Structure 1
Amino acid sequence: MIPLEWMPPLMFGGLVVFMLIGYPVSFSLAAVGLVFGFLSINLGFFDLNFMQAIPGRVFGSILSNELLLAIPFFTFMGAILEKCGLAEDMLESMGQLFGPIKGGLGYSTIIVGFILGAITGTVAAQVIAMALITMPVMMRYKYDMRYTTGVLAASGTITQLVPPSLVLIVLADQLGRSVGDMYLGAWGPSILQIALFALYTWALTLVRPNALPPVPRTLHGWPLFTKCMWGIIPAGVLIFLVLGTIMMGLATPTEAGAMGTIGAIVLAVVRNAPMSKLDKIAFGGGIAAALIGSAIGVVAFKSLPFKIAFTVMFAAIIWLCWRAWQERDLRNLIIQAFQATMRITAMVAFIIVGATCFSITFAGVDGGHWVEHLLSGLPGGVWGFLIVVNIFVFFLAFFLDFFEIAFIIVPMLAPVAQKLLAPVVGADAALIWFGVILCVNMQTSFMHPPFGFALFYLRSVAPKEVKSSDIYWGSIPWVLLQLVMVGLVIFFPKIVTITLDKPHGIDPNKVKIELQAPSDDEPPPIIIPPAKN
């Protein structure tokens, strides 16, 4: 008879065997969970009723989770923005601004990667869009090829850390914390990582000035200003629709993703569809009516003008989208975006089902206590736990993507992390800190071989003269910078918690109660006693 304490490590071993054979992760999870579940029933570890919780968990609390609806919304928005031309305009405008300085195209790529990360939340769209636009320019001006490929891949993966990242949404869901707090905790590390990338670029211009030459500016004065505004204003509107509404508490991540999707469609239509005069009047008039009506509604504190304005605005959007649907190129763009979204959403749904089968059986064989006992006894206490977990996740990311790590590994680590990290940063911030650390770490899964998806995306669009060896060697300095960032977030938790330390609610030490005594000229108040029954 197999002892109970052997079951958790046997489940992990079985999962590894299935994946090494070549089965998809979602099917491997489900197979291991079901096989060991029925084995546990026969061994008397739990009864059949315990396994009947799987359908209820899948359909009741997971697939009906509105927060996970943000995944298809952000995926669809990223697929639309990939081909609508926004990245092109932003890169061209930033290239005009920073081009004349050494490494200017590198700075431009890093900044645009950060801004696009605050809009799309998807790596594939960002890497492909920036590589198609920036790589030919860098090659034309003789930029170092390894730096070129590395900065493009790294600037694309920063979207994993910059809110509204899909990784942060999934981690918040799995750790049981609010998405808003997870976003607040990620701002410090994301800004610091951009600073590290820029610092590396600056240092390279000092050591190898010919590797990152300046690029002459072709626009000056008013044309330069209008070019920059044409790239910045649409990005600012989308950032407000997606991120601003979440941070201001006006929308949930799912609602913000829906608004961002509508904004991306409108932007794609405006930028790519040939618009007649009637279309421009209908669309421009609808937006103007919405803005004026919103101002009237806010000033007058009445809801009617506000509702009328947005009714007119959505009517204009529907009219514009209908006109765009008649254009073959835009219709194909939207269809391709739907197809990409359906593929990713289906993959996530299957992973959720498989992870549910695995996690329920794992909990039934007391796997949580096994993981806690295994990790709580590590030498070094909190720091030993964080170092070992991050090394484990780093190597696990060689074979699994972030969805699989988030749905399989994170729920097992969360109870131990809460117990060990709470004395360091407080109970409320413990899992936020832990989630951001994992998010910084999981960036590397897109950058290192053998399954560095950002490198695959880059290879798929790079010219033939770009060697694959340059792409892989070029990623190494940026992976090291990401690992430095992991160390900084581990040993300096204030980078994460500084935005969470602001007091919320009422401070009782600052509450003052003032009672105004009646003056001599005022009669005392009349107190009416309660009626007697």
Structure 2
Amino acid sequence: MIEYLDLIMFAALMGAILLGFPVAFSIAGVAVIFAYLGWSLGKMDISLMGALGQRAFGLLTNQVLIAIPLFVLMGALLEKSRIAEELLDTMGRLFGQLRGGLGISVVLVGALLAASTGIVGATVVAMGMIALPTMLRAGYDARVASGIVCTAGTLGQIIPPSTLLIILADVMSNAFQQAQYEQGLFSVQALSVGQFFAAAMIPGFVLVGLYLVYILLRGWLRPEDMPPAPADMARPTRAEVLGAVIPPVLLIFAVLGAILGGVATPTEAASVGAIGALLMTGHRIGVAPRLILLGTGALIALGLLAGAFPVRFQRNDVSSEAYALGLFYVGLAILGGLAVLLALRAALSKNVVQEAIGSTLTMTSMIFATILAAGVFSLVFIGLGGEERVADILGNMPGGATGALVFCMIVIFILGFFLDFVEISVIVLPLITPSLIVMGHDPIWLGVLIAINLQTSFLTPPFGFSLFYLRGAAPKSVTTGQIYAGVIPFIGLQIIGIILIWSLPGLATWLPSMLF
């Protein structure tokens, strides 16, 4: 019994979470109990717990994870200012007359919001409150409509920027370094968030393509499930479409372009995204459009020109042309800062910033508390011999490296029925990914496969988060059973997506190899 204490510890964690205890407290509490239990039974050296301080300090000083609250704030601002609602309404009216047109619009808006917010909950709730009633009024089958809304909302987990990819990049980079040490390499390489963002771009759009093909085929084969919208639905003008689509697209290019182009780190790009979302919020709630556009243009010009032609006043050999250029940069900064301040004042007066900051603090504290508690859990699990057990299990799998990866993907998929992506990422992945990398799997490709698998955890009953989000936002006429039934075809599409990435690794590895 004592030799299986590590497995009993994992089972106890699952039980505590299923009983409804707060996740972070469940993880840390189970870890502390089993640490003292292992110590009292002579199974664990309790001095190992002395490393907890270093783990906590490492988390608090992790430059990669600082990007999480900034990306969450960016998404929260777009949600609270109702920019997402305007985009959803416009796209719905644009595609509504096609069979399955409303479903197509929801998927496309989900992809746009994913690339500009990266927050699953906000996207699902917004689409559940706006798009789902419209689809039901148009005669959509409740199961189909629910499945489309849930699935489109989860695109924020695979299309960058996403909190999942940031956490996964940190976990996979640590696993890659650990695997290099185990292979006797002491001049180790690290992996960046930018590499994972680049790797997830094409697979994310492959998933979007799979969803669209399924909706079009179903609309053609079973038109009664997805009829066109009512004929009296007003089509949007070109100006309305451009006004709804261009701002999020520009924000996406500013954030992802800065990261993938090597101009800014993810944290710096996240701060750019937060400022961009604030300017969009100011434009949406009534600040003079010309001033917002001038300020935005000034900040973009400042970023491009200062990067291409830097001016350093502290040098002794600064020319008069450089002084003039520097003063021009100061003018651009003042103009951009004025637009930001006016947008901030307007957003504060409408209570948008306060609500966005509240949402950001709630989500960020949940993520970081879980990561910190997972550090305690993994330390105790290693102390009880769990790491060696995992390595032995994977090493003895039939089929070698491929068999081990298939086994791990199945385990992650099953855990997704019960655990959140953060818990799986910070508890399970550090235990299995070093062994998989040592076996020869490419860490970037492996990370993308796992990301799509973890995205599926938002859809799998009974504890898929998207299901809960939609249950809270959906009309009472839509039952929980219909929501569960609606996501089943899309879970199948997710599995097809995993098989495609597995069969064609270049879909995940080509873009990062080109950019990095």
Q: 1:196 & 1:347 partners in 2: Cα distance?
A: 32
2: distance between equivalents of 1:298 and 1:76?
A: 26
CA distance in 1, matches of 2:74, 2:117: 6
Deviates more, 1:303-312 or 1:379-388: 303-312
1:433 maps onto 2:442 in alignment: no
2:434 matched to 1:415?
Answer: yes
Which letter does structure 1 place at the counterpart of 2:228?
P
1:268-283 maps to which residues of 2 (within 5 A)?
268-273=281-286, 275=287, 282-283=291-292
Q: Structure 1 stretch 431-440 or stretch 259-268: which is displaced more?
A: 259-268
Query: How far apart, CA to CA, are the structure 2 residues paired with 1:407 and 1:289?
Result: 41
Distance, in Å, in 2 between the alignment partners of 1:281 and 1:401 is: 44
Over 3 Å counting, the alpha-carbon distance change for 1:219 and 1:12 in structure 2 is: closer
2:116 matches 1:102? no
Q: 1:27 to 1:91 in 2, by over 3 A?
A: closer
Matched with 2:321 is: none
- Kept in 1, the 8 Å contact 2:260–2:515? The answer is no
- Quote the sequence identity (%): 37
For residue 319 of structure 2, what is the aligned residue in structure 1?
none
Does 2:167 match 1:175? no
User: 1:210 is paired with a residue of what secondary structure?
Assistant: coil
CA contact (8 A) 1:89 1:230 kept: no
User: Which structure has the larger Rg?
Assistant: 1
TM-score by length of 1: 0.84
Alpha-carbon distance change, 448 to 294 in structure 1, aligned in 2, over 3 angstroms: closer
CA contact (8 A) 1:81 1:125 kept: no
Query: For structure 2, which runs of at least 5 residues remain unmatched after alignment?
Result: 174-190, 312-324
Is 1:253 the counterpart of 2:266 in the alignment? Answer: yes
1:463 is paired with a residue whose SS is coil
TM-score, normalised with respect to structure 2 = 0.87
Give the CA RMSD over aligned residues: 2.5
Matches of residues 42-191 of structure 1 in structure 2 within 5 Å?
Answer: 42=40, 47-59=45-57, 61-176=58-173, 177-191=191-205
Q: Judge which range, 125-134 or 8-17, deviates more.
A: 8-17
Instruction: Show the 5 A alignment for 1:312-323.
Output: 312-323=335-346
What amino acid does structure 2 have at the position aligned with 1:199? V
Which residue number in structure 2 is paired with residue 32 of structure 1? 30
Measure the CA separation in 2 of the matches of 1:500 and 1:294: 24
For 2:293 and 2:504, locate their aligned partners in 1 and report how far apart those are by CA, in whole Å.
49
* Contact 1:19-1:25 within 8 A present in 2 as well: yes
The answer (yes or no) to whether the contact 2:285–2:346 under 8 Å persists in 1 is no
**TM-aligned CA deviation for residue 80 of structure 1:** 1.9
Q: Which residue of 1 aligns with 2:477?
A: 465
1:40 Cα offset (Å) = 4.3
- Distance in structure 2 (CA, Å) of the matches to 1:79 and 1:163: 16
Q: Give, in whole Å, the separation in 2 of the partners of 1:129 and 1:403.
A: 23
User: Is the deviation greater in 25-34 or in 478-487?
Assistant: 25-34
Alpha-carbon distance between aligned partners in 2 of 1:18 and 1:404, rounded to the nearest angstrom: 13
Alpha-carbon shift at residue 299 of structure 1 (Å)? 7.8
SS at 1:204's partner residue? helix
Letter in 2 for 1:194: V
Q: Secondary structure at the match of 1:209?
A: coil
Match of 1:444 in 2: 456
Aligned to 2:384: 365
Deviations for 1:438-460, whole angstroms, at most 9, x for unmatched residues? Answer: 11111222112111221221121
**How many correspondences in the alignment?**
484
**How much has 1:37 moved relative to structure 2?**
2.9
CA deviation map 1:27-86 (0-9, x unaligned): 232233333334444556665543211112112x11221211222222222222123232
Gaps of 5+ in 1: 423-429, 505-533
- Contact 1:118-1:159 at 8 Å conserved across structures: yes
Counterpart mapping for 1:472-483 below 5 A = 472-483=484-495
Tell me if the contact between 2:24 and 2:369 (Cα under 8 Å) persists in the aligned partners.
yes
Q: CA contact under 8 A between 1:82 and 1:128: conserved in structure 2?
A: no
Compared CA separation, residues 113 and 32, structure 1 to 2 (3 A): same
